[in-house]
Amino acid sequence: MTALLDRVAKAASTTAFGLSALAVAFFLFAAAIVVGVLFWQTNNLLTEQVLATLTGEARILTSEMKVGGQGKLIETVTALSRPQGTGLYYLADPNGTKIAGNLNRIPPELEAEGHGGVFTYQQMVDGKEKTHLAVAIPVDLGPGLRLIIGRDVEDQRAFADSVRTTFLLGFGVLSILGLLGGLAVSRLIVNRMDEITATSRQIMDGDLSRRIPTSGKGGELDSLAASLNQMLDRIENLMSGLREVSDNIAHDLKTPLNRLRNSAEAALRDPRGGEAYREGLERTIEKADELIKTFNALLLIARLEAGALEESTETFDLGRFAADVSELYAPAAEEVGFVLSIDMEQGLFVSGNRQLIGQAIANLIDNAIKYSRGGEPGSVITVRACLLEGRPAISVGDHGPGIDAADREKALKRFVRLEASRTKPGTGLGLSLVAAVARLHHGEVRLEDNQPGLRVVLLLSNKCLIAAPQHEGDAEPGLAAQ
């Protein structure tokens, strides 16, 4: 019982209940106005009718008095005055002595005034005296006589009373139903809210897999639940990404750390002494440098994902810059049997972080060299800068083994090194750094089939575009040619 009361009290204290109570009150107020006006109008109409009847009768009685004199009048009044009729009469002489009629006295309500009005009188009904409501007007018969005629309107009053009662009852029922409805609605909402609250508590306690149930009816609570669920998905994604990263850090940083430690120990144990120490220390430094590289890349990605680097945004010729970076790699690529083909559109000016875009291009070329085989007829790495879908883009394509369509999404993730590449040197952060640079420039990275091989496209946002290439212009050919 108390539990139920508690729940009702809880529902009653909700915003939803407050709003529905307000709506019920407003509705009742409007209904009261309508009913009140209707009642008042009807009552008026009926009263006027009675008055009109009385006025007509007064005229008849007056004419009878003129024609038949006092005697005739007394006769008529006496005849009309039935003990329980609705017509009420009172005829008195100048002294106030009653001559005829079924009223016992001049109603005190009418005594003061010379005109008609509403009064109450006692009537015997079935041997019981009852107070009835009546309307009466005085009839002017000249000096001497005093006549009051009236009509019993008790029926009308009864009607009015019953109408009033009905309405009051109706209002009562309406209010109760309305408030109950409000309670029911708020209970529904409170239940949904309780679900959401309970779910968020569980999530706070660490169960990130929980989701807020949706009713599937598509209401605003459902859409709220849906967006909260999406937010939770995103958080869970980030969390699992984080977990994955820390697992990978554990692997990709701890393994080389362990190797570094091993090599230092091995050098210490080496019986050759001095020379072995030197070699060991050199190896240690080399391995430390590799670690630092991985660490730097990791920090850079985290930094890029955290937000914009406004300070170092500059405007530059993307094509020329990409050609420039390619030129840095060209000798190294040739050394291992690659042809670096550069295809640049002229006059493609972008605003962005030149150093980071340079790093991205460098990573892509470096990957292309690392993951495809040089020294064969088709060992061409193509670096292209162009406008793609209205956005500045750089693509680096090779004719190596490529990446399966299914694995492409995965390849962009941090530390992911597809099986084929596990044995190659590198941090496993190259592509995810490219992706982070793309995101920083509100762009994206696409991995495509180069038929054969892999083509990585780094797309910047169209907001980065400062000037587009002029195709009909006087572009000098062969700038990019190496």
**Smaller CB separation from another protein, 171 or 277:** 277
- Cβ proximity to another protein: between 162 and 296 the closer is 296
Q: How far is the C-alpha of 294 from the C-alpha of 36, rounded, in Å? A: 84
The single-letter code of the amino acid at 293 is K
Task: Name the segment binding another protein (CB under 8 A); options: 37-45, 62-70, 267-275, 324-332.
Answer: 324-332
Cα separations in angstroms, 461 against 121, 212, 387, 389:
95, 35, 11, 10
Q: Which of residues 102-131 bind another protein (CB under 8 A)?
A: none
- Nearer Cβ to another protein (179/309): 309
Q: At its nearest, how many Å lie between another protein and the CB of residue 456?
A: 15
Rounded distance, CA 69 to CA 403, Å?
128
Closest distance to another protein from the beta carbon of 309 (Å): 4
Contact between 106 and 92 (Cβ < 8 Å) = yes
Total of chain residues touching another protein, rule CB under 8 A:
34
Select 291 or 416, whichever has its Cβ closest to another protein. Answer: 291
When asked if residue 362 is in the footprint of another protein (CB under 8 A), the reply is: yes
C-beta of 312: minimal distance to another protein in Å? 5
For another protein, the binding residue among 64, 244, 290, 366 (CB under 8 A) is 366
Say whether residue 198 binds another protein (CB under 8 A): no
The SS3 assignment for 382 reads strand
Rounded Cα distance between 255 and 253, Å, is: 6
Say whether the peptide bond before residue 452 is cis (omega within 30 degrees of 0). Answer: yes
Looking at 244, 279, 324, 444, which residue binds another protein (CB under 8 A)? 324
Q: Which of these ranges, 67-75, 87-95, 233-241, 354-362, lies near another protein under the rule CB under 8 A? A: 354-362
Q: Quick one: which of 381, 382, 320 has its CA closest to 348? A: 320
> Rounded to an integer, what distance in angstroms lies between the CA atom of residue 20 and that of residue 189?
12
In the list 200, 343, 426, 462, the residue contacting another protein (rule: CB under 8 A) is 426
Binding mask 262-301 for another protein (x = CB under 8 A): --------------------x--x--xx--xx--xx-xx-
d(CA 73, CA 333): 138
For residue 301, count CB atoms less than 10 angstroms from its CB and return exposed for 0-12, middle for 13-18, buried for 19 or more: buried
Q: What is the CA 62 to chain-centroid distance, rounded?
A: 80
The residue written with tokens 């109409």 in the block is 45
Least Å from the CB of residue 285 to another protein = 8
- Integer Cα distance of 300 and 386 in angstroms: 26
The stretch among 214-222, 249-257, 264-272, 327-335 that binds another protein (CB under 8 A) is 327-335
What is the smallest separation between the CB atom of 331 and another protein, expressed in angstroms?
A: 4
With CB under 8 A as the contact rule, the residue among 89, 329, 338, 415 that binds another protein is: 329
d(CA 174, CA 186): 18
Q: Is residue 325 a contact residue for another protein (CB under 8 A)?
A: yes
First to last CA, the chain: 89
Collapsing DSSP states into helix, strand and coil, what is residue 406?
helix
Query: In this chain, which of 105, 251, 303, 471 binds another protein, going by CB under 8 A?
Result: 303
Give the list of residues 6+ apart from residue 8 with CB closer than 8 angstroms, or none: 183
Candidate list 230, 255, 312, 470; residue touching another protein; CB under 8 A: 312
Write the CB contacts of 415 (distance below 8 Å, at least 6 apart in sequence): 244, 245, 248, 249, 251, 252, 427, 428, 429, 432
Sole window of 48-56, 163-171, 361-369, 393-401 interacting with another protein (rule: CB under 8 A): 361-369
Q: What is the nearest approach in angstroms of another protein to the Cβ of residue 305?
A: 12
Q: Does 363 bind another protein (CB under 8 A)?
A: yes
Nearest alpha carbon to residue 360 among 453, 352, 420, 466: 352
Query: In this structure, which amino acid lies at residue 412?
Result: L
Question: Minimum distance from CB of 367 to another protein (Å)?
Answer: 9
Smallest distance, another protein to C-beta of residue 295, A = 9
Q: Which of 99, 184, 185, 309 binds another protein (CB under 8 A)?
A: 309
Q: Which residues bind another protein (CB under 8 A)?
A: 282, 285, 288-289, 292-293, 296-297, 299-300, 303, 309-312, 324-325, 327-329, 331-332, 335, 353, 355-356, 358-359, 362-363, 366, 369, 426, 430
